[in-house]
Structure 1
Amino acid sequence: MRVGLVVVSHSAKLAEGIAEVAGQMAPDVTVVPAGGSPDGGIGTDYDAVSNAVERANTGSGAVVLYDLGSAQMTAEMVVEALDDPGAAVVVDAPLVEGTVAAAVAAQGGADRAGVAQAASEAAGAGEAAPASAAAPAAEAEAVGTEFTLENEAGLHARPAALLVRAIAGVDADVRIRFGAGEADGHSVLAIMSLGARKGDRVSVEATGPQAQEAITRVEALVQRRFDED
């Protein structure tokens, strides 16, 4: 069982849209939208959020994300009223980026604390860092690979999520490089921000105890064209 997510928004359409995007990246994760007021207008609904948290928690807990202040208040009231308040946590994170990051972490098997952390760290993960000019001496044992993206979507959205999921749980630091940018291989948002498209040449470098395993998994995913066929 995986950690579930709840998307609390003042707009039902917004919550449903974010849940749909997250679901595409993490098909085995329960993402439940809870948006709008009881009459279908703009606002939040305590009962809807409560039901969503119950649905999202399939045994491993739930992480709740929200858009605006009153949505936070509603979410926190719901969690506080649970028989086991520790079964869910409300996370302060950018709603879209945080939900996507949390969904990918949950898909990879992270526990509730790990999923919540992925969501909260999403605020600083949306931009790729400049690539290092030279590798430090400590990275002399790094292994790597290069490939040309042949899949239509490049390293956007779903392919980026697949890459992160492919190396989830591997004990290695993985860096994805394209052009002047560098991204953490465990951050779907940072990988997407590289902007790598079909036909672009991308390099991957890994260090750590399972560096070769990480590279092997990435190469296998590339050979499958990121499962787009």
Structure 2
Amino acid sequence: MTVSIVVVSHSEKIADGAAELAAQMAPDVLVLTAGGTTDGRIGTSLEKVLAALDKADSGGTVILTDLGSAVMTAESALEFAENPETMVLADAPLVEGLVAAAVAAQGGADMHAVKRAAESVGGPARHPEDAPLKMVGEGSATGKGPDFTGDFELVNQAGMHARPAAKIAGGLSALDAEVTVNGVDGASMTGLMTLAAGKGSVLHVEAWGPDAERAVNYVGGLVQAGFGEP
């Protein structure tokens, strides 16, 4: 059973739109929304958040929010939830974090890995112990080469756009590995999109850590399959 995701936003339209985008990347993941107030105004609703949490699957739930008071509403909901140990609140940008989290959940990542995937797109996590292994500053390497590498030519017509970037970043964020793709953080959806790699471009993947080989094979498999696109 995959991890569920709850989106808490001040706007019902924003919550629904973000969930619709995530569904395009991860169709098997249950994304529930709690946007706006119960009477249709801009704001947040504890009642709506609790209702969404009640509908979530038992495989764990990751909550994403937009503005400050949405965080407070989500935290209050966790206090009232029947099984708060199966729920976590991610400190991540709503749209990018949601897409990365959904892709990770689609790949079978557990609740904490899905949370890390969401937080990896927005800089350091809220708690140092939750910081993903990919966040290594420039110049901090010891000089040892990568454990595994791979070179893969993009075959899909559109190249590295939002969907492929989300699939790569979301999947890598769930692995115990530090990965770079053409020099950028492989767990960063934004970083991957800045490569502006078109069809025919070669992605050079370098990976360190226990899941290094799996990470390289993951990226290679996605690229060689054209990310499921023409």
What is the TM-score normalised by the length of structure 2? Answer: 0.79
SS at match of 2:205: strand
> Residues 70 and 164 from structure 1, CA distance in 2 versus in 1: closer, same or farther, beyond 3 angstroms?
closer
Name 2:120's counterpart in structure 1. Answer: 121
SS at match of 1:93: coil
Q: 1:203: how far off?
A: 2.2
> Residues 215 and 81 from structure 1, CA distance in 2 versus in 1: closer, same or farther, beyond 3 angstroms?
closer
Name 1:51's counterpart in structure 2. Answer: 51
Name 2:145's counterpart in structure 1. Answer: 139
> Residues 189 and 82 from structure 1, CA distance in 2 versus in 1: closer, same or farther, beyond 3 angstroms?
same
- Are the equivalent residues in 1 in contact too, given 2:8–2:66 (CA < 8 A)? yes
Name 2:68's counterpart in structure 1. Answer: 69
- Are the equivalent residues in 2 in contact too, given 1:153–1:159 (CA < 8 A)? no
Name 1:82's counterpart in structure 2. Answer: 81
- What is the rounded CA distance, in whole Å, between the counterparts of 1:24 and 1:183 in structure 2? 25
Q: Deviations over 1:70-125 (max 9, x none)?
A: 22222112111012222222233221222222222222322222222332332128
Q: Which moved more, 1:23-32 or 1:216-225?
A: 216-225
- Are the equivalent residues in 1 in contact too, given 2:61–2:87 (CA < 8 A)? yes
Name 1:162's counterpart in structure 2. Answer: 167
Q: 1:142: how far off?
A: 4.1
- What is the rounded CA distance, in whole Å, between the counterparts of 1:169 and 1:117 in structure 2? 7
Name 2:157's counterpart in structure 1. Answer: 152
Name 1:14's counterpart in structure 2. Answer: 14
Name 1:101's counterpart in structure 2. Answer: 100
- Are the equivalent residues in 1 in contact too, given 2:146–2:206 (CA < 8 A)? no
In structure 1, give the amino acid aligned to 2:32.
V
> Residues 210 and 34 from structure 1, CA distance in 2 versus in 1: closer, same or farther, beyond 3 angstroms?
closer
Identity of aligned residues (%): 49
SS at match of 1:144: strand
> Any stretches of 5+ residues in structure 2 without a counterpart?
125-134
- Are the equivalent residues in 1 in contact too, given 2:160–2:196 (CA < 8 A)? yes
> Is 1:175–2:180 an aligned residue pair?
yes
Name 1:91's counterpart in structure 2. Answer: 90
Name 2:205's counterpart in structure 1. Answer: 204
> Any stretches of 5+ residues in structure 1 without a counterpart?
none
SS at match of 1:150: coil
- Are the equivalent residues in 1 in contact too, given 2:150–2:216 (CA < 8 A)? yes
SS at match of 2:117: helix
Give the count of matched residue pairs: 217
Q: Equivalences for 1:24-35 in 2 at 5 Å?
A: 24-35=24-35
- What is the rounded CA distance, in whole Å, between the counterparts of 2:112 and 2:218 in structure 1? 26
- What is the rounded CA distance, in whole Å, between the counterparts of 1:2 and 1:93 in structure 2? 20
RMSD: 2.9
What is the TM-score normalised by the length of structure 1? Answer: 0.79
SS at match of 2:144: helix
Query: Bigger radius of gyration, 1 or 2?
Result: 1
- Are the equivalent residues in 2 in contact too, given 1:166–1:221 (CA < 8 A)? no
- Are the equivalent residues in 2 in contact too, given 1:2–1:107 (CA < 8 A)? yes
SS at match of 2:8: strand
